[in-house]
A and B are shown apart, each in its own frame.
Chain A
């Protein structure tokens, strides 16, 4: 994690400098000046996670799957996958990892819809987090395979996240 720490140190320095500039800026009002300033060192995660998820339940065109995820942020993941007939599929998921959770939303395009296991690929963006990932943000790519027989999902996320 040395590169991540280095980036984190640079980001913290930049934040401190930015905060100082804001406080010293002539235009900064008294109200702004009285507001407590908080800063934290940003860390960067180059995430490469994969999960093999099993079907939990469905509600119409939405399928809920969950399972273990391995990779940069290991833990468990719960995915709500929506496929309504359009090639554009969407997924909302939460990875619960050690020390916190990461929630994200992904959209992708499904190919070969009449095959038993169509694949999809698209983008994901982080929508929130908790614990050590409370300030997480960023996005990346989402790949997956949807098993039309078992309703199971295999998903892979490759993302660059800051927290």
Chain B
């Protein structure tokens, strides 16, 4: 074999190796999502808090930034009849002043998240706290606003918007800038709880009286295979990932 031929073979081998090496990376572009859901307490026919969580991973790297989440929930769960969010927090107020400036009766839940900023071979991680409030409705549907705030290493506040549809919650995640010239922030974990330790106020006889909103109503019957949740995650690179889980039927008490 002549030298040019040898060189050509060498280059071809390198290209093949490079392609092989790229294959997992290309596969890694598709994000892998896992979700979890829980009721606390687990009692059929009673009000409960509903927790929903997810993890997103991309083999060999940071997942692509999230663009949106469609969470399908059992349609007979009483999200709309939960009594959560009996006041609305204007988006401008939330963006400018944070959830503390929202009416107490607009609070619907809380949560946490982990994000990654892929600025080097070792992406920077950040913990984020979440506050859920009811947003104004112009279309008759219940709207949710998720206020996300992180402080270290990047100080950032972002508002995610969502809408409660029958059997589904759609959440739009805006592109979250990180550092100048750096890619958008990637959400790798999130946990949201609807309900919980909330205090609302009502006027009784001219006086403001505190009360706890009951929470999401569970139906009196349980589907045979439990309460099924499914989520579709849309990413900024155009890919989608799906995941599902079930909450086993609680014991009757």
Contacts and interface: CB of A to CB of B under 8 A. Distances in A.
Interface of A: 57-63, 83-87, 109-116, 148-149, 151
29 contacts: A57-B45, A58-B45, A58-B217, A59-B220, A60-B78, A60-B81, A60-B218, A61-B219, A62-B81, A83-B80, A84-B75, A84-B76, A84-B80, A84-B166, A85-B80, A85-B142, A86-B141, A86-B166, A87-B139, A112-B137, A114-B134, A114-B136, A115-B87, A116-B87, A116-B105, A116-B202, A149-B200, A149-B211, A151-B83
Contacts of B218: 60
A149 B143 CA distance: 18
A110 B221 CA distance: 26
A80 to B, nearest CB: 12
Nearest to A63: B81
Contacts of A60: 74, 76-78, 81, 217-220
Contacts of B164: 85
Contact of B45 (A59, A86, A113, A116): A59
B79 interface: yes
Contacts of B81: 58, 60-63, 83, 148, 151
Contact of A85 (B88, B134, B135, B141): B141
Contacts of A111: 140
B230 to A, nearest CB: 17
Nearest to B139: A87
Interface in B97-119: 105-106
A87 B140 CA distance: 5
Contacts of B213: 149
A35 to B, nearest CB: 44
Interface of B: 45, 47, 74-81, 83, 85-88, 105-106, 134-137, 139-143, 164-167, 200, 202, 211, 213, 217-221
Interface of B is mostly: loop
Nearest to B211: A149
Contacts of B47: 58
B238 to A, nearest CB: 29
A113 B142 contact: yes
Contacts of B165: 85-86
B77 A61 contact: yes
A29 B108 CA distance: 68
Nearest to B168: A85
B137 A58 contact: no
A114 B85 contact: yes
Given A60-B78, A61-B76, A86-B165, A149 B83 contact: yes
B76 A59 contact: yes
Contacts of A59: 45, 76, 217, 219-221
Which of B86, B134, B164 lies at the interface centre, i.e. has the most chain A CB atoms within 10 A of its CB? B86
